[in-house]
Structure 1
Amino acid sequence: MTGTGALREIELFADLTDPQLSWLASAAERRTLADGEVLFHDGEHAEFFHVLLEGELVVTKQVDGREEVLTRHSAGAGEEHDGKPAAAHRFTGELPLLTGGDYLATATAVGPTVVLGYVKPVFFELLMCCPGVARVLLPVLAWRITSSEIQARNRATVTALGTLAAGLAHELNNPAAAVARAAEEIGPAVARLTAAAEEFGTVANGRARSVLAEAFDVLTRTPLAADLDPYAVAEAEDRLADWAADAGAIAPLPLATALAERGLDRRWLTRRTAELAPDVLPSALDQLAARVEVEALTAQLTSAGPRISALVAGVRDYANLDRAPRQEFAVVDGLESTLTMLRRKLARVRVVRDYAPDLPRVTGYPAELNQVWTNLVDNALDAMDGAGTLTLRTRLEGTCLSVEIGDSGPGIPADVRPRIFEPFYTTKDVGRGTGLGLHLAHRIVTQRHHGSIGVRPTPGGARMVVRIPVEGEPLA
């Protein structure tokens, strides 16, 4: 039995009469927790409304494999701190009881802690019979929902930054490696070209120079062959390198590689150099090999620069850096930037793009919509377990631009669809997601852009549909 005096000190019960306090004291299930003992677990079905009588509780949640501290409740907290109402310290568990769901986090005792538990029928009777309780509880409930949304939005921003960093690092790896390799190799290659040119210049006449120039011109204008057998290419390289080495060339491998990749064989090289005298042929082959090598390294440097610039532009478009937050933009650009950022996850996914031509630009917040696209695409990839068909479709429907993101996963059960945009509702396992991703997407679409978002069942998979009004508020 808990004394009514201890209950009256709690703000939630401050306006109750003595009979009401006596009823509460008799209806409570008192629980004494040792340091580190768990009051309730994330995902556990909610059965009690808990009132903190003594001690402290730390509320945590597993998010993507890591534990995050959401808040702390202390019986000694007597005033608002960091925006948290003082009354919020003394009770927990009201939201899942009101929604009929599960606990949304894990509460653990810090030091010796005493908690009073009220079963659901008592909790609802308390709300109906004691208006003063509702006047204290409802503002706290509103603060908790808002605080959770802010935490989730900040977490989504951090996740988006992580996606940006990981995607950019992954995509930059190849062009950056090409630049580093070419920069390291081009100096020695130029030295070999200079030495070969000097040697060739001492023995070659005008006709030999013309033969070599023509061979180089034909070689560089011949495109790389498609669908060549790698083993056949390797064998052709060996035969070409052996022939050139037998002819006296010092470093024939770059030439052999360039020829083999273009489907040119030893007969082509023999024919092109047939007019060269035996004393001219070795230096001619070395110069041709050195020119091909320098040309290839230069091409790597030339192509890597635009690739890096395109990646940086993609990141800038995704994050909308250095731009006003509200602007006119093309929705398809945001979809494509999102795919670029998530490319690592698309290795086993077939992406189908069905973009209607000549779509109008819309006015809004592209960085926020990119978070929506990221969330929807990421959910689709999770539904398909990273393998399947992802479909992106855009259409103009009356005054709205429609974006559909579909997957070939198992679909969303009919009984789940009405709840997917509820805050904290999730079908993922505990520790995977917060249940706020779709809720935040819903707010961005409906409140920030005055649009709509919903799910349409399909024979195979699910299809999320976002509609954004084309005629938004004019820019200032």
Structure 2
Amino acid sequence: MSAAHGTDPGGTGPHGTGLRRALAGLEIFAALTGEQLDWLVSVSEPRVLADGEVLFRDGEEATGFHVLLSGGLVVTKVVDGREEVLTRHSTEEESAAAEDHDGKPSAAHRFTGELPLLTDGAYVATAAASGPATTVVAYPKPVFFEMLTRCNGVAAVLIPVLAWRIKSSEVQARKRATVEALGTLAAGLAHELNNPAAAVARAAQELSPALDRLTRSAHAWGAAAGGAERSVLDRLAEELDKLPPPATTDPLAQADAEEEVADWAQEAGAERPGLLGAGVADLGLELGWLLERLEGIGEPALPAALDHLAALLEVRALAAELRAAGPRISQLVAATRDYANLDRAPEQRFAVPDGLENTLVVLRAKLAGITIVRAYEPDLPELTGYPSELNQVWTNLVDNAAEAMEGHGTLTLRVRAEGGCLVVEVADTGRGIPEESLPRIFEPFYTTKDVGKGTGLGLHLSYRIVTQRHRGSITARSRPGETRMIVRLPLGAAAACAETPAEPNTTS
């Protein structure tokens, strides 16, 4: 439960020596003069938290700076529906030491809430008490800024901790982005591999009995046919080998052709008329075409000829499925390798459209129902850089666009050379970015998504990859129904592609 306003955890009065001594023992206040400490005690708002009691919540307006006097705090954030522990603050030396594996400064354990106050934003995580005796001291927002003015020593401790927290959050976001990218990659690959893999499995399962039928029908055909009749079927088999796939497929016409061939084959005495009908119709052929090619085969040998032809078509159809599935699987593996940039030097020359295309392959399941327009300028120059990192940028931009369109709309990818730069545009017809949010979308922790659906770091990391790793620029232009993310990448070391991080709404 919370203590009354002004309660002294030291037990010596509302603003007594106990609180003064506790504050003076903290690194952030260690350099304060006696007069500064007296002022600090006078504006302090101590509060005792029960185990699990929430100090502040993710997404709430930041109202205060909090100093931990005793006990502990656990800082969490809901990301994609899962609650993740970002860090823990503790006044116990052993517990604090366990959290220092990532270089966490010792002073970082004793205060929280400064980042959203300094950025005039909302809390970016939830903090709750950990343990039965957690005492914090709150300093409202106006008091916090007055503290920075009155007490110079506070900033000297606070700023390095703030820098570490931002860096640590970016590292965590990069790790999360890598895990999410691998998850997206795995999901997309599994979805895309499903059809060719199922085709391979089905063909492999059906191939053995199909070969048995082919062998038996060959024996029966050989026993029933004369030399001239065998020549007729041999010529038909050669012609089938050279047939191109049908240019168009009309399911209704194909079903009618299949039924017509099957009915005729049944009347002719074939044992598997349905198999023959399906094989002929799948090639886009009709009964008239078949009758013309079977002229010269007598009525006694016709059933055996039809059964052998059906078995032959079945085996060849299964082989065709395997031939089609193999390259498709190879294509997906190649796209995955290129997307992840495996077995390659960290910096290399590459074609930017290839990365965009691989990203579309990986995100294909999420882009179902969305029209994709490609506008790649011909003969584009290659870029020197880090393709796997840029693939993360393309993934963020395309994924955000798909989410903004909610599964319906048009995604347009444009790539062109402009001066000494390569310009990549990712445009969507979604709901747009609010005008007041547009200048802030590349800031760390800023997000327009609902709490729990975004970290506010995806676009920030994309900004860092483009501007710092590739010396380029990324800008945003948006209005309802048209949002364009524009990435400019220098083609040479001397090229200048810089623009302001965000531009006002424009229809240009």
Q: Give 2:116's aligned residue.
A: 96
Partner residue in 2 for 1:38: 54
Tell me the residue number matched to 2:33.
17
Superposed counterparts of 1:50-199, under 5 Å: 50-77=66-93, 81-82=100-101, 83-112=103-132, 113-199=134-220
- Which range moves more in the overlay, 88-97 or 297-306? 297-306
- CA spacing shift, 1:462–1:103, aligned 2, 3 Å: same
Which has the bigger relative contact order, CA under 8 A and spacing at least 6?
1
Q: Deviations over 1:325-359 (max 9, x none)?
A: 11111111111111110000111110000001111
Report the AA paired with residue 89 of structure 2: H
Identify the match of residue 385 of structure 2 among 338, 354, 364: 364
Secondary structure class of the residue paired with 1:271: helix
1:125-164 deviation digits (Å, cap 9, x = unpaired): 1101111100000000000000000000000000111111
Moved more, 87-96 or 252-261: 252-261
Cross-structure match for 2:500: none
CA deviation profile, 1:252-309 (whole Å, cap 9, x unmatched): 3232012223443333333333432121001100110011011111111112111111
Counterpart mapping for 1:235-250 below 5 A: 235-250=256-271
| CA contact 2:217–2:304 (8 Å) conserved in 1 | yes
Structure 1 counterpart SS, 2:410 = strand
Given that residues 107 and 161 in structure 2 are in contact (C-alpha distance below 8 angstroms), is that contact kept between their aligned partners in structure 1?
Answer: yes
Q: Give the AA of the match of 2:321.
A: Q
1:217 to partner: Cα distance: 3.6
Q: Distance in 1 between matches of 2:421 and 2:285?
A: 56
Equivalent residue of 1:84, what SS? coil
Q: TM-score, normalised by structure 1?
A: 0.96
Q: Which residues in structure 2 correspond to 1:278-357 (within 5 Å)?
A: 278-357=299-378
1:457 counterpart residue number: 478
Contiguous gaps of at least 5 residues in structure 2: 1-5, 9-18, 495-508
The structural deviation recorded for 1:229 is 4.4
Contact 2:221 2:301 survives alignment (8 Å)? yes
Moved more, 42-51 or 406-415: 406-415
Separation of aligned partners in 1, 2:368 and 2:397: 18
2:395 maps to amino acid: T
Task: Specify the SS of the correspondent of 2:366.
Answer: helix
- Root mean square deviation, CA, Å: 1.6
Query: 1:421 is matched with which residue: 430, 442, 448?
Result: 442
Alignment match, 1:230:
251
Aligned letter for 2:161? Answer: V
Does structure 2 retain, via aligned residues, the 8 Å contact 1:16–1:132? yes
Q: Deviations over 1:412-433 (max 9, x none)?
A: 2222111011000000000011
**Distance in 1 (alpha carbons) for counterparts of 2:465 and 2:224:** 74
Shift in Å, 1:220: 4.7
Which 5+ residue runs of structure 1 have no aligned equivalent?
A: none
2:467 counterpart SS class: helix
What is the CA-CA distance between 1:459 and the residue it aligns to?
Answer: 7.0
Cα distance in 2, alignment partners of residues 108 and 227 from structure 1: 63
In 1, Cα distance between the equivalents of 2:138 and 2:462?
A: 35
TM-aligned CA deviation for residue 247 of structure 1: 1.4
Provide the residue aligned with 2:403 in structure 1: 382
Number of aligned residue pairs = 473
Deviations 1:228-269 (A, max 9, x none): 543443343233222212212112323201222344333333
State how far apart, in whole Å, the 2-side matches of 1:303 and 1:361 are: 31
Question: What SS does structure 1 have at the residue aligned with 2:365?
Answer: helix
Distance 1:308 1:218 in 2: 29
Aligned with residue 206 of structure 1, among 227, 232, 235: 227
SS at match of 1:60: strand
SS of aligned partner of 2:266 = helix
